[in-house]
């Protein structure tokens, strides 16, 4: 009996400490999730009362909304190029930094710095870098004797421009890989070298398996983050009048940007909520797929 009340009191203490999160979870996550589902089944402008439409929003998004397909394609393009490029480049940089040479800390600092920059300030900067006439990039290309493209003003180059910009922020990924590389016991490499394994063999049979959890983590986070790409497109492709974001000719209309415009420029809250659930579903599928695919390929040390 006494034991029971002790456990009860301890449980009460536990709940008291986690109360901020628990209350927040109910108010800011669980409640809104249910509300969002309900709103997505309505047609609602927030000004008039909502009208029940069932699954009509979902149906029209998937079957008769060409802009949704455009934004899905744009987002897919961005994820497909940005994530693998950032991971490969981040790993290459981490390997370079992972040499026992003086001055590596300095280089790490320089490469890490851009990744914590304010996204709007960075977007303003890159907007000018991509300026076809006066921008840094085309000035540099002209110096090499190449006539650069119109970048953000070109339907073909607008998305690749944003992928290039995303490479500027790989500092965080590099740090994660560097920490993972530093966690590999040196003896593994030495033993393999003694057995006659060359650098390429050691890279694929020791380095990659040993840092596979970091690669897995970065690719999951990268995919989740890239599916939600928004600020760059909003700042760099929008002029003064609302509605112009996502150009040229919707080449940078990403899913979240489309959702934002539906919700806060057109006030179609039901439609936008349905879009949000579709986005969530896509991210979920990709995350599960990645988890499944990497199941036998990610190596976790025993005892964890």
Partner 1 sequence: MNGFQSYDRSPTALGTLVRSGAVYVILAVISAGFLLPLAWMLSVSLQDVRGVFAQPFAWIPPQPRWENYSDVATLIPLGRYLLNTVVVTGLVLLGTVLSCSLVAYGFSRIRFRGRTVLFALCLSTMMLPGQVTMIPLYVMFSRLGWVDTLWPLIIPSFFGSPFYIFLLRQFFLTIPREYDEAARLDGAGRFRVYWSIILPLARPALITVALFTFIGTWNDFFTPLIYINSPEHATLTLGLNMLKSQIVGTGMTQWHLLMAAACMVMLPNIVLFTLAQKYLVKGIAMGGLR
Q: Which of 21, 52, 55, 204 is the binder for partner 1 (CB under 8 A)?
A: 21
Which stretch, 54-62, 68-76, 80-88, 197-205, contacts partner 1 (CB under 8 A)? 197-205
- CB-based contact 232:223 (threshold 8 Å): no
User: Alpha-carbon distance 109 to 49, whole Å?
Assistant: 54
User: Alpha-carbon distance 185 to 191, whole Å?
Assistant: 11
Task: Answer yes or no whether residue 302 interacts with partner 1 by CB under 8 A.
Answer: no
Which stretch, 52-60, 145-153, 154-162, 195-203, contacts partner 1 (CB under 8 A)? 195-203
Task: Answer yes or no whether residue 294 interacts with partner 1 by CB under 8 A.
Answer: no
Beta-strand pair 51-52/42-43: antiparallel
Task: Give me the numbers of helices (H) and strands (E) for the chain, helices first please.
Answer: 16, 2
Binders of partner 1 among residues 99 to 128 (CB under 8 A) are 99-101, 103, 107-114, 116-122, 124-128
Which residues contact residue 168 at a Cβ distance below 8 angstroms, ignoring those fewer than 6 apart?
A: 114, 115, 122, 126
Beta-bridge mates of residue 52: 42
CA dihedral 203, 204, 206, 211 (to 10 degrees): 90
Least distance from C-beta 63 to partner 1, angstroms? 22
Q: Which of 18, 88, 146, 293 is the binder for partner 1 (CB under 8 A)?
A: 18
Q: Which of 5, 63, 147, 186 is the binder for partner 1 (CB under 8 A)?
A: 186
Binders of partner 1 among residues 223 to 282 (CB under 8 A) are 224, 227-228, 230-231, 234-235, 238-241, 256, 259, 263-264, 269, 272-273, 275-277, 279-280
């Amino acid at each position: 009996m006494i034991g029971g009340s002790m456990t009860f009191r301890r449980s009460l203490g536990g709940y008291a400490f986690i109360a901020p999160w628990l209350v927040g979870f109910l108010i800011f996550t669980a409640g809104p999730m249910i509300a969002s589902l309900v709103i997505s089944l309505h047609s609602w402008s927030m000004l008039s009362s909502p009208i029940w439409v069932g699954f009509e929003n979902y149906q029209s998004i998937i079957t008769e909304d060409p802009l949704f397909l455009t934004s899905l394609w744009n987002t897919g393009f961005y994820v497909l190029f940005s994530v693998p490029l950032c991971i490969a480049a981040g790993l290459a940089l981490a390997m370079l930094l992972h040499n026992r040479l003086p001055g590596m800390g300095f280089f790490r600092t320089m490469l890490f710095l851009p990744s914590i920059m304010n996204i709007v300030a960075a977007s303003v900067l890159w907007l000018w870098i991509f300026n076809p006439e006066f921008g840094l990039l085309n000035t540099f290309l002209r110096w090499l004797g190449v006539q650069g493209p119109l970048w953000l003003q070109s339907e073909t180059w607008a998305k690749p421009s944003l992928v290039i910009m995303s490479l500027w922020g790989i500092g965080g990924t590099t740090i994660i890989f560097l920490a993972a590389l530093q966690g590999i016991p040196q003896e593994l490499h030495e033993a393999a070298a003694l057995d006659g394994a060359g650098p390429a063999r050691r890279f694929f049979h020791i380095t990659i398996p040993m840092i596979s959890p970091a690669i897995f983590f970065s690719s999951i986070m990268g995919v989740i983050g890239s599916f939600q790409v928004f600020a760059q497109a909003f700042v760099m492709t929008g002029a003064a009048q609302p509605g112009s974001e996502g150009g040229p000719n919707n080449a940078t209309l990403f899913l979240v940007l489309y959702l934002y415009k539906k919700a806060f420029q057109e006030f179609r809250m039901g439609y936008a909520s349905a879009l949000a659930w579709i986005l969530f579903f896509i991210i979920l599928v990709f995350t599960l797929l990645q988890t499944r695919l990497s199941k036998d390929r990610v190596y976790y040390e025993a005892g964890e």
